[in-house]
């Protein structure tokens, strides 16, 4: 979503950003590009029509056209309208005040429902300290029950199942079992079909009556574009879904689903899911998503991820060692592990304002590079890990380490440079004034631009000069 749609929209608004004066023609040209961007992203036509009409009406207002910075004001209008069609604010979950809370999940076959249930269970246990249990009531596909049981074992959540019996009976028995065994949250996995039919809907209506769920969560495949919004509306009309989980956001998705669901069906998006790992699941914040689409970054989500992945005392100790001369390969290895817990490099960079243009390049970075660096570090002796200078001063040590790790000496040298770059960056930041740090917060890419350049002496004629 943040690739195709984001790039097109950013190009459209970039043409007017920074201009001291805008004309009606400038606005018309921008809106034409915005309209094409949304339609190519498979956003519902009615949503596109209403969105562009509202943006154009506000952008042509006298206050904006005659303002001090009309280009940025128009970008703000686009941002606010993107946020509006996605739901304004994060929609929270509803829990029972006491006793057992039940969530019911629905969705078409192949929408990623079973995997999303596992991720939801992990999220609720970690965030709300719940004791969850799953009920396997997708009785038309034996593999669905097996998959849920496998996921349950993987994450340590009990799965109640009775095989291919009547779903209504299974749900009734499962709820009784949950109460008797002091579970405080049950997530019911219901049948997924290839298409919506009357029998399927009647069964879901019956299960809803039995379970009386606090939340009915619809899983929607983000790769299906605006069709996802139409499916959501069909489910909502008969079951009154309380929220949607947008799955497969990491695939070749064009963004149509996220921008269409709320407007077409009225169902708020509550969560997004991406990747296979059970921790790749996060609450949906319309304002943050709008910022990411327009290349403004998403610092709040980055902070949330950092808080979840990094212990505060651990981070403080790491910073103190970086500022000292004691920072070594043990510390670098710890830092790699911290970063890896936060997710892929390209995703992290996408959250940082000003670095959106690096995301494509970062996407080509193989996150397994961290594993390669770990192997190199583990090929060092205890003394070498604690004292980087031993490796810096000895080519024979570097050759031995490279051979032990199964890499070239140049890979070992890259690791040495990474260690030096970390030290230099932190020391530079520690010497910055408050004004410098404020400017850096607005554009983190300046830190990269102000890093000291490595210089080497030239060879041959004029070797007394330095070459950058």
Both 73 and 159 in a single domain? Answer: no
Residue 205 has pLDDT above 70, yes or no: yes
Residue 354 has pLDDT above 60, yes or no: no
- Structural domain ending residue among the three candidates 86, 117, 138: 86
Give the per-residue pLDDT at 453.
44
- What is the residue range of 331's domain? 302-450
- Structural domain ending residue among the three candidates 86, 109, 127: 86
Q: Average pLDDT, whole number, for the chain?
A: 79
Both 24 and 152 in a single domain? Answer: no
Q: Count of domains in the chain?
A: 3
Categorize the per-residue pLDDT at 16 as very low, low, confident or very high, splitting at 50, 70 and 90: confident
pTM for the complete prediction? 0.68
Written as one string, the DSSP assignment of 157-197 is: -EEE--SSS-HHHHHHHHHHHHHHTT-SEEEEE----SS--
| pLDDT tens digits for range 390-411 | 999 999 999 999 999 999 999 8
Give the per-residue pLDDT at 198.
81
Give CA–CA dist 444/128, Å, rounded: 34
Residue 230 has pLDDT above 60, yes or no: yes
Residue 43 has pLDDT above 70, yes or no: yes
Categorize the per-residue pLDDT at 223 as very low, low, confident or very high, splitting at 50, 70 and 90: confident
Instruction: Check residues 67 and 35 and name the one with the higher pLDDT.
Output: 35
Terminal Cα-to-Cα distance of the chain (whole angstroms): 39
> Is 465 inside a domain boundary?
no
Give backbone dihedrals phi and psi of 75, rounded to 5 degrees, phi first: -60, -40
Both 116 and 39 in a single domain? Answer: no
% of residues, the chain, pLDDT over 90: 29
Residue 64: how many other CB atoms lie within 10 Å: 19
Both 202 and 170 in a single domain? Answer: yes
> Is 460 inside a domain boundary?
no
| pLDDT tens digits for range 308-336 | 656 667 667 766 766 676 788 888 887 77
The enclosing H or E element of 374 equals helix 369-378
Both 149 and 11 in a single domain? Answer: no
């Amino acid at each position: 979503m943040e690739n195709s749609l984001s790039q097109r929209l950013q190009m459209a608004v970039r043409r007017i950003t920074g201009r001291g004066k805008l004309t009606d023609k400038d606005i018309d040209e921008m809106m034409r590009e915005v309209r094409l961007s949304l339609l190519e992203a498979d956003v519902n036509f009615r949503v596109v029509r209403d969105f562009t009409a509202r943006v154009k009406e506000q952008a042509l207002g006298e206050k904006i056209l005659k303002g001090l910075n009309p280009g940025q004001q128009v970008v703000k209008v686009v941002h606010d309208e993107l946020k509006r069609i996605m739901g304004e604010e994060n929609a929270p979950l509803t829990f029972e005040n006491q006793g057992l809370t039940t969530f019911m999940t629905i969705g078409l076959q192949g929408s990623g429902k079973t995997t999303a249930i596992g991720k939801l269970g992990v999220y609720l246990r970690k965030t709300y300290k719940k004791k969850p249990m799953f009920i396997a009531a997708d009785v038309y596909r034996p593999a669905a029950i097996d998959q849920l049981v496998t996921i349950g074992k993987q994450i340590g959540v009990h799965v109640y199942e009775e095989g291919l019996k009547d779903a209504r009976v299974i749900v009734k028995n499962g709820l009784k079992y949950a109460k008797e065994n002091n579970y405080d949250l049950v997530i019911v996995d219901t049948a997924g079909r290839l298409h919506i039919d009357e029998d399927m809907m009647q069964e879901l209506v019956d299960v809803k009556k039995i379970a009386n769920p606090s939340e009915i969560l619809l899983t929607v495949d983000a790769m299906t574009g605006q069709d996802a919004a139409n499916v959501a509306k069909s489910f909502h009309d008969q079951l009154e879904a309380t929220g949607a989980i947008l799955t497969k956001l990491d695939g070749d998705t064009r963004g149509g689903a996220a921008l269409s669901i709320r407007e077409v069906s009225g169902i708020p998006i509550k969560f997004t899911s991406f990747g296979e790992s059970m921790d790749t699941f996060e609450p949906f914040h319309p304002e943050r998503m709008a910022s990411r689409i327009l290349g403004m970054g998403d610092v709040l989500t980055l902070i949330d991820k950092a808080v979840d992945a990094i212990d505060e005392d651990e981070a403080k100790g790491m910073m103190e060692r970086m500022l000292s001369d004691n920072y070594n390969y043990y510390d670098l290895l710890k830092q790699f592990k911290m970063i890896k817990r936060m997710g892929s490099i390209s995703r992290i960079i996408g959250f940082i304002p000003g670095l959106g243009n690096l995301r494509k390049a970062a996407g080509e970075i193989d996150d397994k590079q961290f594993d390669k660096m770990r192997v190199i570090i583990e090929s060092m002796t205890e003394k070498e890990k604690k004292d980087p200078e031993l490796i810096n001063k000895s080519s024979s040590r570097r050759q031995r380490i490279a051979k032990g790790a199964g890499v070239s000496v140049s890979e070992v040298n890259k690791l040495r440079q990474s260690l030096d770059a970390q030290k230099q960056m932190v020391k530079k930041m520690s010497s910055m004034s408050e004004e410098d740090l404020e400017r850096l917060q607005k554009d983190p890419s300046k830190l990269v631009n102000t890093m000291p350049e490595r210089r080497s002496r030239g060879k041959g004629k004029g070797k007394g000069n330095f070459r950058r």
